[in-house]
């Protein structure tokens, strides 16, 4: 596992590549992003659809083309590059899944997940987002493995709590409380 | 400030894209009104990114093929210009809009700029309903519109129901719900919502489970169906 400093440097480098793509349409910088993210994008697709390597190719290609097209809308104050690309990947996957059996639906997802754009960034928010990023990455390591595992299945495999419960042969309530406890420790819960 | 929010688990299902799109529609509608939940959703994206980057991944030869393909077409791809330009609402002075409501962006697929453009079914003098979509997974997406002080027909939920208040406010045994509030009721719940007297109330409602929902829906429409029969 990479240390926090190494990861931060990596993110700064990615942000530089993004800038080069946005301002100079720098293909070398784009290639660097491609080399880092395409294997991750492929794993992400295969986690939800094991064996579907053509689909994995399509999603990876679509996301990387969006990176090239939308680089100028990326704002490092709003999110780091990995978070930005994760949301692009998630959105692509949702669109592909709704067109086949898993989440078959006539609902157009375009308006449901806003892309992270520079809409209301202010210095306070930028600082806050950086803090929460650090907190989440630090606290995540301290979570019990069963809680991490439940979240990982939800995020990477795109499973509902019910599907996770069935797969792990656990009561639904157990899975829900693992997710709930984990989110609370990561300070992602709504004050009531 | 809004008082009724989706739980953090629901927000996580939204951020991960693991919930049905019908539910995501309700969450997205709530997020448009709720800063707090938008911030939570952003944190949940950051969490997703953590899992995303922790994945084991090895470059394969397929990556090189894909790279050649993508790099080869970059020059033909134009930078997408600001989407909001093509996205500008079609709201013009000529629009024959009577209400001053601004429907949420999340519902853009179903209505452009006015709730009046929809075909409403009058269920009772104070209660109208319109179905936006019966989705492939059986979910039913509907809007309800109740006059000030009006009651919604008593109903027992036979499946989970998500409600987001789009305009006005209503109350039931659980409290008062205002514009933007998000309510999730399970099938055990029986409630008697009443709209506050100051304004009409429009809600987005999403119900799961087709067969059970039909039961609920016919019960709502029963009075209407009976009346129509009596007239014929």
pLDDT one digit per residue (tens) for chain A, 192 residues: 567 788 889 999 999 999 999 999 999 999 999 999 999 999 999 999 898 888 899 999 999 999 999 999 998 888 899 999 999 999 999 998 888 766 678 999 988 987 665 555 567 777 777 888 888 988 999 999 999 999 999 999 999 899 999 999 999 999 999 999 999 999 887 665
Q: Compute φ and ψ for B182, nearest 5 degrees.
A: -115, 130
Asked whether residue B172 is assigned to any structural domain, the reply reads yes
pLDDT of residue B190: 66
User: Domains of chain A, with CATH numbers?
Assistant: 4-120 (1.10.1740.10)
pLDDT of residue B167: 96
- Is there a contact between A33 and A20 (Cβ–Cβ < 8 Å)? no
Asked whether residue B189 is assigned to any structural domain, the reply reads yes
Residue B83 has which token pair? 């989407």
The Cα-based distances of A156 to A15, A168, B14, B97, B159 in angstroms read 24, 16, 13, 44, 28
pLDDT of residue A192: 55
Q: Which of A1, A47, A61 sits opposite B66 (nearest CB)?
A: A61
Asked whether residue B161 is assigned to any structural domain, the reply reads yes
pLDDT of residue B214: 42
Residue B66 to residue A60, Cβ atoms within 8 A: yes
- Is there a contact between A64 and B70 (Cβ–Cβ < 8 Å)? yes
Q: How many domains does chain B have?
A: 1
pLDDT of residue A36: 95
Residues of A in contact with B18 (CB under 8 A): 154-155, 158-160
Asked whether residue B22 is assigned to any structural domain, the reply reads no
The Cα-based distances of B19 to A40, A104, A159, B200, B213 in angstroms read 22, 12, 8, 31, 19
The Cα-based distances of B138 to A104, B22, B208 in angstroms read 10, 10, 6
Asked whether residue B81 is assigned to any structural domain, the reply reads no
B228 burial via Cβ count (<10 Å: 0-12, 13-18, 19+): exposed
3-state SS of chain A is CCCHHHHHHHHHHHHHHHHHHHHHCCHHHHHHHHHHHHHHHHHHHHHHCCCCHHHHHHHHHHHHHHHHHHHHHCCCCCCCHHHHHHHHHHHHHHHHHHHCCCCCCCCCHHHCCCCCCCCCCCHHHHHHHHHHHHHHHHHHHHCCHHHHHHHHHHHHCCCCHHHHHHHHCCCHHHHHHHHHHHHHHCCCCCCC
**How far is B181 from B28, CA to CA, in rounded Å?**
12
Asked whether residue B80 is assigned to any structural domain, the reply reads no
Q: Is A133 on the interface with B (CB under 8 A)?
A: yes
- Is there a contact between B43 and A130 (Cβ–Cβ < 8 Å)? no
pLDDT of residue A105: 87
If you measure CA to CA, which chain B residue comes closest to A58? Answer: B66
- Give A171-189 pLDDT, tens digit per residue: 999 999 999 999 999 988 7
Q: Which of B43, B51, B69 sits opposite A155 (nearest CB)?
A: B51
Asked whether residue B193 is assigned to any structural domain, the reply reads yes
Instruction: Identify the CATH number of the domain in which residue B184 sits.
Output: 2.60.120.10
Domain coverage including residue B203: 109-231
- Rounded to a whole number of angstroms, the distance from the CA of A189 to the nearest CA of chain B is 5
- Give B112-147 pLDDT, tens digit per residue: 789 998 999 988 889 899 999 988 878 889 999 999
- Is there a contact between B164 and A112 (Cβ–Cβ < 8 Å)? no
- Is there a contact between B18 and A158 (Cβ–Cβ < 8 Å)? yes
pLDDT of residue A173: 94
Asked whether residue B21 is assigned to any structural domain, the reply reads no
Which regions of chain B are under pLDDT 50?
A: 83-95, 210-215, 222-232
Q: Is A167 on the interface with B (CB under 8 A)?
A: no
Residue A112 to residue B21, Cβ atoms within 8 A: yes
If you measure CA to CA, which chain B residue comes closest to A191? Answer: B36
């Amino acid at each position: 596992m990479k240390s926090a400093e190494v990861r931060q440097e990596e993110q700064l480098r990615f942000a530089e590549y993004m800038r080069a793509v946005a301002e100079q349409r720098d293909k070398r910088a784009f290639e660097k992003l491609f080399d880092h993210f395409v294997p991750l994008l492929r794993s992400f697709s295969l986690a939800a659809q094991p064996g579907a390597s053509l689909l994995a190719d399509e999603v990876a290609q679509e996301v990387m083309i969006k990176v090239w097209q939308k680089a100028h809308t990326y704002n490092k104050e709003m999110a780091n590059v990995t978070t930005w690309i994760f949301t692009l990947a998630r959105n692509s996957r949702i669109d592909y899944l709704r067109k086949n059996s898993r989440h078959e639906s006539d609902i157009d997802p375009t308006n449901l997940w806003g892309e992270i754009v520079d809409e209301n960034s202010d210095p306070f928010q930028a600082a806050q987002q950086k803090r929460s990023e650090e907190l989440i990455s630090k606290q995540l390591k301290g979570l019990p493995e069963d809680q991490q595992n439940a979240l990982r299945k939800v995020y990477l495999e795109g499973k509902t709590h019910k599907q996770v419960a069935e797969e792990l042969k656990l009561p639904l309530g157990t899975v829900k409380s693992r997710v709930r406890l984990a989110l609370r420790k990561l300070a992602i819960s709504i004050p009531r | 400030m809004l008082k009724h929010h989706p739980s953090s688990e629901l927000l996580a299902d939204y951020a991960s894209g693991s919930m049905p799109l019908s539910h995501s529609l309700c969450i997205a509608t709530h997020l448009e009104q709720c800063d707090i939940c938008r911030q939570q959703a952003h944190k949940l994206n950051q969490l997703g990114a953590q899992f995303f980057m922790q994945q084991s991944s090895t470059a394969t030869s397929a990556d090189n093929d894909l790279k050649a393909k993508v790099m080869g077409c970059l020059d033909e791809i134009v930078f997408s210009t600001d989407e909001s330009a093509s996205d500008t609402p079609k709201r013009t002075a000529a629009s024959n809009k009577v209400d001053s409501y601004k429907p949420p962006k999340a519902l853009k697929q179903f209505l452009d700029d006015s709730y009046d453009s929809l075909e409403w079914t009058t269920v009772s003098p104070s209660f109208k309903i319109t179905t936006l979509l019966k989705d492939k997974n059986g979910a039913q997406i509907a809007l309800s519109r109740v006059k000030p002080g009006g009651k919604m027909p008593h109903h027992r939920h036979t499946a989970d129901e998500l409600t987001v208040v789009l305009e006005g406010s209503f109350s039931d045994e659980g409290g008062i719900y205002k514009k933007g509030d998000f309510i999730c009721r399970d099938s055990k719940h029986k409630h008697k919502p009443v709209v506050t007297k100051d304004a009409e109330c429009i809600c987005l409602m999403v119900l799961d489970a087709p067969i059970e929902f039909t039961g609920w829906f016919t019960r709502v429409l029963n009075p209407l169906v009976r009346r129509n029969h009596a007239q014929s």
